[in-house]
Structure 1
Amino acid sequence: MTRTRAATPDDALAITRIYNQGIQDRVATFETRERSAAEVQEKLSEPYPAVVVLDTSREVVAFAWSRPYSTRPAYATIGDHGVYVAREARGQGYGEAALRALLQAARQAGLHKLTSRIFTDNTASRRLHLRCGFREVGTHRRHAQLDGDWRDVVIVEVLLDEP
């Protein structure tokens, strides 16, 4: 049975492994430098929601986290987010469990919107977000370079205070 819970700094090693896989695979982030457990632990100590998904062995197989969309006060209730699943656990519903748990945690934290940018060719993530109530609101063309190639991203958002 899949279980979700709030992420804690004790999850830093597992989250670091999964996040670094996402960096290595070049399908989910513009980040190119792998992160240390200390860096992830610091991020997990921030006040924005983060969740983990545990498999039947109680191992962390996925996570979702959020951060402020902007430092401007007008955007204080908007979170930017990411969802990552361990390579060996992809395609088994763990990403959806992570994202749905993050949506609940974000509502409880008083956020009114979550947003993100997804590589246009990351169809699995795009489908996941649509299933979880997000809508695609536009495309940033040539948004940034990854390994010397310009990449387009789709902007997604969900309003958390809508039924």
Structure 2
Amino acid sequence: MAALHRDQVIAIYQAGIDEGDATFETTAPTWERFDAGRLPGHRFVALDRDGRVLGWAAVSRVSDRPVYAGVVEHSVYVHADARGRGVASALLKALIASTEAAGIWTVQSSVFPENTASLALHERTGFRVIGVRERVARHHGRWRDTVLLERRSDAVG
């Protein structure tokens, strides 16, 4: 992922936000805020033959405390027209490979239980459910649960 992809990355993020079952966010951040919050070595885009962004994946630190240096939270978003073609799986596999190569031992995420496609993707790529956070926050005027997922590396540790 590079700055040249920024407009498409942010547009895909906003589309996911608008669908209502991807995140508690209500508006995509500016590129500057997005860029500042994601680790540079673990950002990926999937491109079509014309260089259009089909989807993206990135990670953020969960804490600045040294003890959590090997734990990150990730996001994966795919353009609606590219879903069902293995884009999310390829992005998540690339993300797992890069984080393991960097010594990161846990990749985690929170997913709305209604987002069954994301839950299935994570299960296929080695994530496990570690809990459900019930009524963790309000989203568009209603309480929402999230499913907390993690993937612990077999290669790091």
Give your verdict on TM over 0.5: yes
CA-CA distance at 1:48 after TM superposition: 5.0
Q: Provide Cα deviations, 1:107-140, integer angstroms capped at 9, x if missing partner.
A: 1222111001000111000000000011111100
2:107 to 89, 110, 114: 114
Per-residue deviation at 1:13? Answer: 1.3
Give CA deviations for 1:29-59 in whole Å, capped at 9, x if unaligned. 1001232334334445x44511111123331
User: What residue is the counterpart of 2:142 in the other structure?
Assistant: 149
Q: Which residue of 1 aligns with 2:6?
A: 12
Match of 1:39 among 33, 49, 55: 33
Matched, 1:24 2:21: no
- Correspondence for 1:55 among 48, 51, 63: 48
SS of the equivalent of 1:19 reads helix
5+ long unaligned stretches in structure 2 = none
Q: What's the TM-score, normalizing by structure 2? A: 0.91
Q: Point out where structure 1 has 5 or more consecutive residues left out of the alignment.
A: 1-6
Equivalent-residue separation in structure 1 for 2:59 and 2:109 (angstroms): 10
Question: Is the CA contact 1:65–1:83 (under 8 Å) kept in the aligned structure 2?
Answer: yes
Q: CA RMSD in A?
A: 1.7
Q: Deviations over 1:52-111 (max 9, x none)?
A: 111233311111110001222211110100100011111221111111111111112221
TM-score, normalised on structure 1? Answer: 0.88
Aligned-partner residue type, residue 64 of structure 2? T
| Residues 49 and 109 in structure 1, CA contact (< 8 A), matched pair in contact too | no
Q: How many residues get paired?
A: 156
Find the residue that maps to 1:14 and give its secondary structure: helix
Q: Secondary structure at the match of 2:126?
A: coil
